[in-house]
Amino acid sequence: MNVRLGVVAVTVTALVLLAGGGAALQATDGNGTDAGDAQRTISTSGTGEGSADADRAVVRVAVTARAESAEGAREAVATNATRMRDALREAGVDDDAVTTASYQVRPRFEIDRERDERTLVGYEAVHAYRIDTAADAAGTVIDTAVGNGATEVRGVTFTLSDQTRAELREEALERAMSAARADADTVASAAELSITGVQSASTSGGVRPVYEARETASDAGTAFDTGSVTVTASVDVTYVATE
């Protein structure tokens, strides 16, 4: 009589939860099937941050004008917008830093609610601009724009230059990886294992700009007390572990 002996793989998976994060210890073979003598991995995640004072600002202004005709409103806005851009250029703002955000010419109506009627009374033209500048020049840009044709200040956002953003992201990633490795070492120690390498890693993250800043009064013009800008990074890392 022939007897065939089969080998049955026994699956053993340990899951360890840590305060403030999670980590999983798992043994798998090359085909993804759990096996007691296969490669062991520990998966963890970590987050990190890097902060710095804002060094760039985006100023949003608009030039508006009203007239009896659409053409009259358009011409008035064009004249004032040209005067504003010339003044900004003289103040040291590059032409390519001043871009159009939106433009429209719209009719204006007077509403008679009792009669449920509306009467055309003229037209309004609006040319909105986005101005990119150094953070410490935001107040000067606003004063220059408003003093030379701009009729609305629609907001200021303080953020980071590409170079500063890259430096802070590197810092945030290093802190995220350190946090992930600390969790992995804790799990490995509890399981009587040692970390020997990284099997895979992925990242994510973003920038939190300063959307609001406190304006301060000054005889010299508009000034702002800006806050810091934070770059965040998250990592998901799978480590290789051995006994």
Last residue of a domain, which of 159, 178, 193?
159
Same domain, 144 and 130: yes
Last residue of a domain, which of 159, 174, 198?
159
> Looking at the domain assignment, is residue 2 inside a domain?
no
Same domain, 153 and 69: yes
> Looking at the domain assignment, is residue 99 inside a domain?
yes
> Looking at the domain assignment, is residue 213 inside a domain?
yes
Same domain, 43 and 74: no
**What is the domain range of residue 142?**
56-159
The residue whose two tokens read 């003044």 is 87
> Looking at the domain assignment, is residue 5 inside a domain?
no
Same domain, 73 and 116: yes
> Looking at the domain assignment, is residue 140 inside a domain?
yes
First-to-last CA distance in the chain? 42
Q: How far apart are CA 27 and CA 10, in angstroms?
A: 11
Number of domains in the chain: 2
Last residue of a domain, which of 104, 134, 159?
159
Residue 155 main-chain phi, psi, to 5 deg: 140, 165
Compute CA distances 8 → 26, 39, 123, whole Å: 18, 18, 83
Q: Which CATH number fits the domain that encloses residue 27? A: 3.30.110.170
pLDDT per residue of the chain (243 residues) written in tens, 0 to 9: 333 322 222 222 233 333 334 566 555 544 544 545 568 999 999 999 999 999 999 999 999 999 999 999 999 999 999 999 999 999 999 999 999 999 999 999 998 887 788 899 999 999 999 999 999 999 999 999 999 999 999 999 999 999 999 999 999 999 999 999 999 999 999 999 999 999 999 999 887 765 555 554 445 688 888 888 899 999 999 999 998
Same domain, 72 and 133: yes
Same domain, 182 and 123: no
